Amino acid sequence: MAGYLFALGDAGVPADVLESRQYSTLMNIKWTSPTNGVLGDLVTMRPGDHVYFFKKRRIYGIGRVVTAPGKRCVTENFPGATSQTTVKWSAVKKAAFMPDAHGFKKNGSKRTELVGRWVIKFEPDPAFLEESVDMDDLLVSDPAAFRIIRDFHQRSFIKVDDVEDLAITAALLRANPDHPLTRATGPIVLADVFANGHEPDVPGLLAKNRSKDGSLKLEMFLEIGLLWQLARRDTNTVDVFGEWDYLSHQVPASPAKPSEYMDHMDVFGYRYMTGFKPIVESYFVAELKRDVASADDVPQIMKYVDWVRSEYAHGDYRQVKAFLVAKSFRDVTTESVGARRDYTRGYRPAEECTWRDLTLVSYDVDEQGHITFARV
């Protein structure tokens, strides 16, 4: 189970958001790079994922994601929300599920118009708790658990993995030993409002940003498309990459430091050992290039392999599956310099091992916005 920590702006009131049981991230009314990032995080949202809110150093919760009709976890707030166009709010607000997901952000004498493009629904799990937790108290409650949340800087929200999700839940429950409820105790609201809604039109977005050669104009679109198809278990995509229980993107892959100096994995994930959840069997690491990948890209993906091996896989390279994805490749093979690791496993007796689990994958986008992947 993953967790999502959403930052509330100046106008957001945690109790009101918890009572409404719905949320939409406000973004620039123009389609910008952060819009791509928000969509990339939302396309992997699954039923049961935890929801928390952050405001003025404090974390509030606990909710869990519930689905709308059609098993949607994320619903377009208005028709065309994923079309990458500049929104004229006056033209869409009557059709919006959350008409109040609109506002302005002051920046000196200027005002930036904000709009919520996508909506999620959630319910108490086990309750919306009365007491919140300060961020410092959270981080010291289980220091070893927190890797991703330390990168929560100048972002509207962040997705965390099972370990961090459990640590956040534990901190909130300890702060509320009697689990008292907030005033959000009524039935789930807007149960029928989403009946005619649509999930984000990711294929339409990719088709719009497809080049004539079948590549995508930005690597972020490739991230979104790969995550979208993996999360929906697209047959071709699963045949190439396998199935994964947890997926995320732009995950920190270096020791704690100011965010602008952090390295980030394009795509990261893991799958559980069958029948033994939450024990992790394998970790997924992918580096994406929208056009040509070369031998110079091998050290980058291998740096992430080393990070996952040391920080997640308890020193065992066998648990790491790595993929370098590009439209085409130049002077790079799975035998390229640096695309292997020799290491020792175990103690009595020690075993000399070699890791060679880097897979090269090409991609092609058709006119409908579906990506076909192929192992090279």
Q: Where do the structural domains in the chain lie, given as residue ranges?
A: 3-196, 207-375
Residue with tokens 């928000």: 38
* Topology, domain 207-375: Trna Endonuclease; Chain: A, domain 1 (3.40.1350)
Q: How far is residue 119's CA from residue 62's CA, in Å, rounded to a whole number?
A: 18
Q: How far is residue 313's CA from residue 357's CA, in Å, rounded to a whole number?
A: 14
Q: Whose CA is closest to 158, among 311, 7, 312? A: 7
Give me the pLDDT at residue 86, please.
Answer: 83
Q: Are 340 and 302 in contact (CB under 8 A)?
A: no
Q: How far is residue 40's CA from residue 80's CA, in Å, rounded to a whole number?
A: 17
For 135-161, how does the pLDDT look when each residue is reduced to its tens digit (9 = 90+)? 999 999 999 999 999 888 878 899 999
Give me the pLDDT at residue 186, please.
Answer: 45
Give me the pLDDT at residue 180, please.
Answer: 56
Q: What is the pTM of this model?
A: 0.91
Q: Whose CA is closest to 216, among 335, 327, 125? A: 327
Tokens representing 141? Answer: 């409650």
* β-bridge mates for residue 167, sequence order: none
Mean pLDDT of each 10-residue bin along the chain, 376 residues long: 88 80 92 93 95 94 88 91 89 88 82 92 88 94 92 88 96 83 46 72 97 97 98 97 97 85 95 94 98 95 96 94 97 87 86 93 98 97
Q: Are 185 and 53 in contact (CB under 8 A)?
A: no
Q: Whose CA is closest to 329, among 357, 354, 294? A: 294
Question: What DSSP line would sit under 277-319, residue for residue?
Answer: TTSEEEEEEEEE-SSEEEGGGHHHHHHHHHHHHHHTSTT-GGG
